[in-house]
């Protein structure tokens, strides 16, 4: 895999962002390097050690954090009394800005894939003066057409065996309704016998469809009970509310990115987030460069990882960002 060697953080902490939430954060690489923040996917996926490796540790000050309710942040969304009412796109945008200020960073590169690309766009369109560049992968903007493709239509026709497994908690293959709405009732049912299997079914569907070739290890990892329940609950919560965005908002507001350079890395065979969304964003944001590669959706796909590292290497020398 064309990533930099594994590294460990030189600093970690918990940031109080209000409403009872405390976010785990870490810094890796060079404390005097170019600042970059990594926004993980899901929402609800958490950040892992592989994410550190997308940046040259000699040239980057790499900031990672776990978004509300997942990973090492507290409280965890798998808990019986989990309250997601203060876990929205705009709470997370505010969290990123609080983290930037807390870490004493003026401007930083924003790196995000899948849901992380949506959050990166929401942040950059809100705080364009704080972003040096955007590096985005597997573009997702929470348009209804994107959600329907993945949960109610297109993807299921390409992987029917996994579609059937996704529908099992809903009564089987004859289910004819909105999967997102139907799963909401299951995932937030207080009975572990209901929400537990639903969480595993939701997350293993994702794990089975994000790589060009099926990855049994990834599927097993996504089936871990606490991880799967938090991931599924947070994702479903966000998707049920369309990310608290008007349909097409992130692409419609791309004009706010006019002074920001960016690279979009997109898998040609991405079942979760098909290339049409990346193309729509690229057309709305002429300052971006679109790199379409032979791959699926995941960060772990070699062709995707190669282009992401090429992008961060390219921007590493722009210590003060393209506008300075």
Give strand pairing partners of 29.
61
Here the tokens at position 191 are 């009975």
Reduced to 3 states (helix: H, G, I; strand: E, B; else coil), residue 298 is coil
Residues catalogued as catalytic:
114, 270, 297
Burial string for 86-105 (b: 16+ CB within 10 Å, else e) reads ebbbebbbbbbeebbeebee
C-alpha angle 156-158-164 in degrees, rounded to nearest 5: 40
Find all residues with CB under 8 Å of 249, minimum gap 6, and list them. 141
Per run of 10 residues, the mean pLDDT along the chain (length 324 residues) is 92 97 98 98 96 98 98 95 94 98 98 98 98 98 98 94 96 92 96 97 98 96 96 98 98 98 98 98 97 97 97 86 35
What confidence score (pLDDT) does residue 299 get?
Answer: 95
Closest by alpha carbon to 27, among 82, 105, 123? 105
Is the torsion defined by CA of 163, 166, 169, 170 positive or negative?
Answer: negative
What confidence score (pLDDT) does residue 322 get?
Answer: 34
State pLDDT tens for residues 236-276.
999 999 999 999 999 999 999 999 999 999 999 999 999 99
Here the tokens at position 314 are 């390219």
CA dist 236 and 101 (Å) reads: 30
Here the tokens at position 174 are 């004859």
Backbone angles phi, psi at 288, to 5 degrees: -85, 155
What confidence score (pLDDT) does residue 1 get?
Answer: 58
Q: Give me the count of residues in the chain.
A: 324
- C-alpha dist (Å) from residue 305 to 111, 113, 300: 13, 11, 6
Contact 23, 100 (CB under 8 A): no
What confidence score (pLDDT) does residue 2 get?
Answer: 87
What confidence score (pLDDT) does residue 141 get?
Answer: 98
What confidence score (pLDDT) does residue 81 get?
Answer: 86
Structural domains in the chain? 11-141+247-319 (3.40.50.1820), 146-243 (no CATH)
Longest dimension (CA), the chain: 58
What confidence score (pLDDT) does residue 319 get?
Answer: 62
């Amino acid at each position: 895999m064309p990533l930099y060697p594994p590294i460990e953080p030189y600093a970690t902490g918990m940031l109080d962002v209000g409403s009872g939430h405390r976010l785990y954060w870490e810094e890796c690489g060079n404390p005097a390097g170019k600042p970059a923040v990594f926004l993980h996917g899901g929402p609800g996926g958490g950040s892992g050690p592989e994410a550190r490796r997308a940046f040259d540790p000699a040239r980057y000050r790499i900031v990672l954090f776990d978004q509300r309710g997942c990973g090492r942040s507290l409280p965890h969304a798998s808990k019986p009394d989990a309250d997601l009412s203060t876990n929205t796109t705009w709470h997370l945008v505010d969290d990123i800005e609080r983290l930037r200020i807390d870490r004493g960073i003026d401007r930083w590169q924003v790196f995000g894939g899948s849901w992380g690309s949506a959050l990166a766009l929401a942040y950059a369109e809100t705080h364009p003066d704080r972003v040096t560049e955007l590096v985005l992968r597997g573009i997702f903007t929470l348009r209804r057409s994107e959600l329907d493709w993945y949960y109610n239509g297109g993807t299921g026709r390409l992987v029917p065996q996994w579609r059937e497994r996704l529908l099992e908690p809903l009564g089987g293959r004859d289910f004819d309704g909105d999967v997102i709405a139907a799963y909401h009732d299951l995932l937030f049912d207080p009975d572990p016998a209901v929400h537990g299997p639903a969480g595993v079914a939701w997350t293993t569907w994702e794990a089975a469809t994000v790589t060009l070739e099926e990855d049994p290890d990834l599927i097993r990892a996504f089936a871990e009970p606490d991880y799967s329940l938090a991931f599924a609950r947070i994702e479903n919560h966000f998707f049920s509310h369309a990310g608290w965005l008007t349909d097409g908002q992130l692409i419609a507001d791309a004009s706010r990115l006019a002074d920001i350079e960016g690279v979009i890395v997109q898998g040609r065979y991405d079942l979760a987030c098909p290339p049409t969304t990346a193309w729509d964003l690229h057309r709305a944001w002429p300052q971006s460069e679109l790199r379409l590669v032979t791959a699926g959706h995941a960060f772990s796909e070699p062709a995707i990882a190669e282009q992401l590292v090429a992008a961060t290497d390219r921007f590493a020398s722009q210590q003060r960002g393209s506008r300075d």
